Amino acid sequence: MASLFKKKTVDDVIKEQTKELRGTQRQITRDRTALERQEKQMELEIKKMAKAGNKDACKILAKQLVQLRKQKNRTYAVSSKVTSMSTQTKLMNSQMKMAGAMAKTTKTMQAVNKKMDPQKTLQTMQNFQKETAKMEMTDEMINDTLDELFEGSDDEEESDNIVSQVLDEIGIEISGKMSKAPAASRNNPSASTSKADTISDDEIERQLKALGVD
């Protein structure tokens, strides 16, 4: 029972109208087909009366044929109007749906704008930028202060330790090589010294490359 008293929507009305227009179009097509059959029969009848020499009957039938053809042409005109009405109805339905969508969108935008305060939003953004700038300045000041307090202490000590370690490792390797080297000749000490110097330079360069020190 509730469905009987349900209020029709725009889509329901459009569907009913479209259905009625299709029914009208089919009826017009049937009428045109019937007129075409009558037209052919009347043409045959006029030919028959002409062969019989009945001119009066031919004139009467010819007038009826003219009226029948006019009626057939009217069916084409009516059919075009029905098609136009159906198309126009669909266009109107589409436009109404677009208007409804725009109305819903407008309501949504209005609700959002009511909830949002542009001044508060702008103030929040400005405060955020201000606090971010303060934080960056504070961080920079702390880093500068720490750099001043510990500058030249740990860095220099660590650098000295690395250099000492490298030199110690090189010295140990060189000492091992030099212990296997032949003793310097008493008669020619300069030659032995030169050979030892050559070994030292090569070993130093090799060890520095191995340690990644250029």
Beta-carbon contacts of residue 203 (< 8 Å; ≥ 6 apart): 170, 173, 174, 177
What tokens were used for 101?
A: 């969508």
Q: Which whole number is the average pLDDT over 167-173?
A: 61
Answer yes or no: is pLDDT of 174 > 80.
Answer: no
Label residue 160 by pLDDT band (50, 70, 90): low
pLDDT of residue 40: 92
Length of the chain: 214
State the Cα–Cα distance between residues 196 and 204, nearest whole angstrom. Answer: 12
To the question of pTM greater than 0.75 for the whole model, the response is: no
Q: Given pLDDT bands bounded at 50, 70 and 90, which one contains residue 196?
A: very low
What percent of the chain is modeled with pLDDT above 90? 11
8 Å CB contact between 28 and 75? yes
At 198 the pLDDT is 47
Quick: pLDDT tens for 113-155. 877 777 888 888 888 898 888 888 888 888 878 777 666 555 5
Supply the pLDDT for residue 36.
Answer: 92
Confidence of residue 27 (pLDDT cuts 50, 70, 90): very high
